[in-house]
Structure 1
Amino acid sequence: MLLGMRDSLGPLKVLAVASAVNGIGDVLLCSVWGYGIAGAAWATMLSQVVAAFMMMKTLNDTGFRAFQLSIPSPRELLEIVDLAAPVFLTMTSKVAFYSLLTYFATSMGTVTVAAHQVMINIFCMCTVWGEPLSQTAQSFMPELIHGVNRSLLKARMLLKSLVIIGAISGLTLGVIGTSFPWFFPSLFTSDRMVAGEMHKVVFPYFIALMVTPSTHSLEGTLMASRDLRFLSLSMTGCFCFGGFLLLLISNGGGSFAGCWWALAVFQWARFSLALQRLVSPRGILYRDDYQQHELVTGKAT
């Protein structure tokens, strides 16, 4: 909600405080008082509680009654489900594919498992850099698409800028993300066999990573335009196709590089479907005849 109000400083402060609470709690509970993994869990829980309270306090200061409890009506529950269910399906499909990728990679031996863990962790660290593009689209696009002073031309210009920034970011992240496992594998492992397996997937790793930031900007725009049904169905379709591709690779003898090529196909399929939807002349960014009540299906609860 704060991002929707274009307040990025508030969440940043909350994140900083929560991270500090978590770090100090880990040191005290794990190292000083010797609670081990249970102490780490308590520190994480405490940081989340502090973050939630600070978020509610920030919303309360802006005029929302964040601390007031109310029971939603059946109609409001239906509206929430109507919005949340497609997003849940989208996120579940994405996580399920990554889990399926790891499942097939772990069936190829200990060396492959070690190499995959290194590469997938670096990949996830790099993909985080594309999330601000999605959040920017979700913060600014609703006003341009649904607002009183809506301007589809400005929305298209913003999307173009986000995609270009995403492409530049993707190429930069791809170069950086592949350089470390290729030139400095000793930072992650001293085993030459593991390093060799990492080198086998550098190219599909680059292909998958380079398109990810632009994909985030496109999917953020789809969420901002409330085109959630298409987003969830397309992500589910990409998951099914990617899973089928992984199954074919596994039944054909399997290869570590083949699994990562499946990830590259999954990422590019997401990008292609979202791009085609948004640049279509019949899409929401080109249809001036859409009326406000056709765009916004329900009020905020």
Structure 2
Amino acid sequence: MVEIVKFSGPAVGLWLCGPLMSLIDTAVVGQGSSIELAALGPGTVFIDNTSYVFMFLSIATSNLVATSLARRDKEEVQHQISILLFIGLVCGVSMLIFMRLFGPWALTVFTGARNADIIAAANTYVQIRGLAWPAILVGWVAQSASLGMKDSWGPLKALAAASVINGIGDIVLCRFFQYGIAGAAWATMVSQVVAGYMMIKALNDKGYNGFSMSIPSPNELVQILVLAAPVFVTMMSKVLFYSLLVYFAASMSTQTVAAHQVMIQLYCMCAVWGEPLSQTAQSFMPELIYGANRSLLKARMLFKSLVIIGALSGFILGSIGTSIPWLFPKLFSHDPLVIKEMHKALIPYFLALSVTPSTHSLEGTLLAGRDLKFISSSMSTIFCLGSLLLLVFSSRGYGLPGCWFALVAFQWSRFSIALRRLTSPNGLLHSEDLTGYQLEKQKAA
């Protein structure tokens, strides 16, 4: 328990910084204009949720680095970092170009042509923040490499500095210079570039070259793809479901869209407190499952500790997270209609948030054990069923509460299926035969 807290405590800050930046944008912009607040909904979804598509880079880096360190192969660690940094840079430049060429079209499709004011403001936000894509993805690789080395303090310092820059920038540009949503975007973009540089510097301080990049060979690329493809499917299922929530909310009134923007940003900020449990599993489990001194008994002990901490965290986060929009809604909007819509979703908001940390700990264990086929297939199935439920609730006029109850079903299904898999007698934490979970086995298949 103590070892988990020492690692995951600082790691909380890493996952808080991203949603915190968007939440700061939401709070500052919301004080000036309900239209720009509504525009942050599709704007932040297009930037933040799209970035989660590339979470496979983060997970692949952490997994490969932790596994190589378990084999005590420092040269292999450096080589893997170099090729993943190159892939991150290529993906970042590609996303920057995509945003410039197709950003307005995608926002129009997502939001609806009738919301011209919202689309214009959202596109301004997206185009400015999109300039940081290369720095974001390269920084993610460097951050995940440090986490794979069981260091969470170095990346935390980088993101703490970025959050301060973002907060000050928002206040100066939005409140004093009245730049509105554009000012919020510039502040966030600059802070993310600074964070990316500091992540690389933190990696250099540990004796690795964070500026070294190598083009992967075909075999190396295949190996990364074998690990990344199921992770990509898993992350895409999450991203698409959260995007559908905003899509169905966007079909309602402007006040409903604004209320959902506040609620989803608060939810994301609270939910990321469970991400360090997933990262803890990905950093510590490979050594216990695949390392030179493997011990499934210790792996099960770690798993139990993660679940217990997740359950306690879920209850605390659910209680605190729900009290903010309930008791202090005017922190985000003074519009009584927006506040009324926020209060309608409080119960499903609590139910969805309370199970999230435990779900992260379970899925992090599955990723650490490379039970990739199961987690990708189960997540895609849950996504399809959850989307169908969301469609039914929306078509029957259940409004914003219907969207959030669909999220409740989505989250609890993920938790239940992952828990059953890991507690099975034939699961990776109980079976001595792990050939079915080996990366080489999957590659051969």
TM-score greater than 0.5 by the shorter chain: yes
Whether the 8 Å CA contact 2:311–2:357 is kept in 1: the answer is yes
Render the CA deviation track for 1:166-217: whole Å, top value 9, x for unaligned. 1111111111122222333344443444333323221111111110010111
Q: Distance in 2 between matches of 1:215 and 1:246?
A: 20
Counterpart amino acid of residue 371 in structure 2: D
Task: Classify 1:261/1:14 alpha carbon distance in 2 versus 1 (closer, same or farther; 3 Å).
Answer: same
Q: Which amino acid aligns with 1:207?
A: L
Q: 1:41 to 1:207 in 2, by over 3 A?
A: closer
Relative distance call for 1:112 and 1:6 in structure 2 (3 A) is: same
- Change in Cα spacing, 1:42 to 1:199, as seen in structure 2 (3 Å) is closer
Structure 1 distance, partners of 2:168, 2:185, is 13
Q: Would the alpha carbon gap of residues 19 and 96 (structure 1) be closer, same or farther in structure 2, given more than 3 Å must change?
A: same
Of residues 178, 182, 186, the one that matches 2:322 is 178
Partner of residue 263 from structure 1, selected from 407, 415, 425: 407
Distance in 2 between the 1:294 and 1:121 partners? 37
CA deviation map 1:6-37 (0-9, x unaligned): 11111112223434555666688889999987
User: Among 296, 301, 312, which residue is 1:168 paired with?
Assistant: 312
Question: 2: distance between equivalents of 1:290 and 1:191?
Answer: 56
- Relative to structure 1, is the Cα distance of residues 70 and 278 closer, same or farther in structure 2, using a 3 angstrom cutoff? same
In structure 2, C-alpha distance between the alignment counterparts of 1:96 and 1:107, rounded to whole Å: 17
Aligned length: 299
Give 1:84's aligned amino acid. Answer: A
AA partner of residue 203 (structure 2): L
1:1-301 alignment, distance < 5 Å: 1-20=145-164, 22=166, 44-290=188-434, 294=438
Q: Secondary structure at the match of 1:2?
A: helix
**Cα distance in 1, alignment partners of residues 290 and 382 from structure 2:** 28
**What do residues 74-127 of structure 1 show as CA deviations (whole Å, max 9, x unaligned)?**
000101111222222211211110111111122232332232222222211211
| Letter paired with 2:402 | G
Q: Partners in 2 of 1:111 and 1:197 — Cα distance?
A: 7
- Give the match for residue 18 of structure 2: none
Assess, with a 3 A threshold, how the Cα gap between structure 1 residues 21 and 117 changes in structure 2: closer, same or farther.
Answer: closer
Q: Aligned letter for 1:81?
A: L
Which runs of 5 or more structure 1 residues have no equivalent in the other structure?
none
Letter in 2 for 1:166: G
**Partner of 1:62: helix, strand, or coil?**
coil
3-state DSSP class of the match of 1:3?
Answer: helix
CA contact (8 A) 2:370 2:437 kept: no
* Structure 1 or 2: more helix by fraction: 2
TM-score (norm 1): 0.87
Letter in 2 for 1:257: P
Q: Counterpart of 2:202 in structure 1: which amino acid? A: T
Higher mean C-alpha deviation, range 160-169 or range 104-113: 104-113
CA distance in 2, matches of 1:184, 1:52: 34
Amino acid at match of 2:221: L
- Residue 113 to residue 221, structure 1, CA distance change in 2 (3 Å): same
Farther-moved stretch of structure 1 (127-136 vs 206-215): 127-136
CA–CA separation in structure 1 for the residues paired with 2:213 and 2:250: 46
Deviations 1:194-245 (A, max 9, x none): 3333232211111111100101111111111112222222221111111011
State the 1:61 CA deviation: 4.0
Cα distance in 2 between the residues matched to 1:178 and 1:58: 36
Is 1:14–1:51's contact at 8 Å kept on the other side of the alignment? yes
User: 2 CA distance for matches of 1:82 and 1:48?
Assistant: 29
Q: Say if 1:156 and 1:285, in contact at 8 Å, map to a contact too.
A: yes
Distance in 1 between residues matched to 2:343 and 2:240, nearest whole Å: 25
- Which deviates the most, 113-122 or 93-102? 113-122
| C-alpha separation in 1, matches of 2:256 and 2:175 | 34
SS of residue matched to 2:146? coil
Q: 1:176 to 1:222 in 2, by over 3 A?
A: same
Q: Bigger shift: 176-185 or 138-147?
A: 176-185
Unpaired stretches in structure 2, ≥5 consecutive residues: 1-144
Moved more, 234-243 or 188-197: 188-197
Cα distance change, pair 183–248 in 1 and its aligned pair in 2 (3 A): same
Displacement of 1:70 after TM fit? 2.4
Q: Which range moved further: 180-189 or 255-264?
A: 180-189
Q: Secondary structure at the match of 1:64?
A: coil
**Does the CA-based 8 Å contact 1:146-1:295 persist in structure 2?**
no
Contact (CA 8 Å) 2:159, 2:195: kept in 1 or not?
yes
- Alpha-carbon distance change, 188 to 69 in structure 1, aligned in 2, over 3 angstroms: closer
TM-score by length of 2: 0.60
Distance in 2, Cα, partners of 1:180 & 1:33: 29
The answer on whether the counterparts of 1:146 and 1:292 sit within 8 Å (CA) in structure 2 is no
